[in-house]
Amino acid sequence: MEALLLGAGLLLGAYVLVYYNLVKAPPCGGIASLRGRTAVVTGANSGIGKMTALELARRGARVVLACRSRERGEAAAFDLRQESGNNEVIFMALDLASLASVRAFATAFLSSEPRLDILIHNAGISSCGRTHEPFNLLLRVNHIGPFLLTHLLLPRLKTCAPSRVVVVSSAAHRRGHLDFTRLDRPVVGWQQELRAYADSKLANVLFARELATQLEGTGVTCYAAHPGPVNSELFLRHVPGWLSPLLRPLAWLVLRTPRGGAQTPLYCALQEGIEPLSGRYFANCHVEEVPPAARDDRAAHRLWEASKRLAGLGPGQDAEPDEDPQPEDPGTPSSRSSPLSEEPTVSEPHAIPHNSPDLSKVTHRIQVKTEPEPIS
């Protein structure tokens, strides 16, 4: 009996060490009040995206949940309004697998929303499921769709600078390898899906890196964020039904909650003083070095050009013109029409407090080691 108790104590101690050192996520700090600012979070009807949107709403932001399912998106918006006490949480339809849907979302957003301060690309898939498309569905949803959406919304991000773009990536990028000769080939079978998922996450990291280069001096900064191992729908969505009951208890023990997974994306969106780290990869709320393939500037630029082609952006079509008037100052509330006729009515935003931190006035700088040169 004593040996059994000792063994149980050792196992419990080992689990506590693992949990607090590897599983539990550090809490996000950053800007306390986001009143008068607008954020878009893709895939925000569940999991990490929903917890990210909840925290932004609690801090007073106007939050747009960009989701594929209208039913689930509107239900999530209702839940978040109730839980946060912020009525300015709305749903807008977005299917990242459809470039037409991405363009429609951008048109609807730009015609109805005068501001965009934070854009968080959270939506993603890990498997094609039963869908058979004539293109690489994982690359389309995880990278090409977000790439096009960013381009279409860039004029608004620039006029609202300082603003931020956060791309939710994964440690799986370390296994990625981009073959530019077959970048958009359809994915067949679970082995190809695993490779395609890792490749799409590598594309996320390279996209953030090249976007930072393209936007230098504009006041728009961007970051790739790894949420950590998270117990979310993405983890269990494609697990066989008979295996799910066995994995759920294990996942509960060793994986982060969606709230924990949201901390690093929130850090990248809200933390003051990280502007000098634009384009870098973050994990556990701090910058982390990436392998040579993920800091190859030539590959990042080549991916940029290939992505423009796959997204249907020809020469001179990097982004649609922003014909709307200059955005209002965050401290001046105004009426906003609902983006879609079916959208729920939202209340007017409150004025931003005078003591709310301004990203443009951040003076704190973070000292980091110089990155090694990319390996060809």
Rounded CA separation 19/17 (Å): 5
CB 335 within 8 A of CB 348: yes
| Buried residues in 210-235 as b, exposed as e (16+ CB within 10 A) | bbbeebeeebbbbbbbbbbbbbbebb
The confidence band for 151, taking pLDDT boundaries of 50, 70 and 90, is very high
* pLDDT surpassing 80 at residue 2: no
* pLDDT surpassing 80 at residue 333: no
Q: What is residue 29's predicted lDDT score, i.e. its pLDDT?
A: 72
**Lowest mean pLDDT across 14-23, 76-85, 134-143, 233-242:** 14-23
Do strands 220-226 and 286-287 pair parallel, antiparallel, or not at all (unpaired)? unpaired
* pLDDT surpassing 90 at residue 188: no
DSSP string, 17-50: HHIIIIISPPPP-S-S--TT-EEEEETTTSHHHH
Q: In this structure, what are the phi and psi dihedrals at residue 89, rounded to the nearest 5 degrees?
A: -120, 115
The confidence band for 376, taking pLDDT boundaries of 50, 70 and 90, is very low
Amino acid 114 reads: P
Catalytic residue among 19, 20, 197, 267: 197
39-80 pLDDT, tens per residue? 999 999 999 999 999 999 999 999 999 999 999 999 999 999
* pLDDT surpassing 50 at residue 331: no
110-123 pLDDT, tens per residue? 999 999 999 999 99
The confidence band for 321, taking pLDDT boundaries of 50, 70 and 90, is very low
pLDDT (mean) for 209-215: 97
Amino acid 255 reads: L
- 190-214 and 145-159 helices cross at what angle (nearest 10)? 20
Cα 224–Cα 312–Cα 317 angle in degrees, nearest 5: 85
* pLDDT surpassing 60 at residue 240: no
**Catalytic site includes residue 197:** yes
**Lowest mean pLDDT across 34-38, 182-186, 219-223:** 182-186
For residue 26, say if its preceding peptide bond is cis, omega within 30 degrees of 0: no
The confidence band for 371, taking pLDDT boundaries of 50, 70 and 90, is very low
Which residues on neighbouring strands pair with residue 65, listed in sequence order?
A: 41, 91
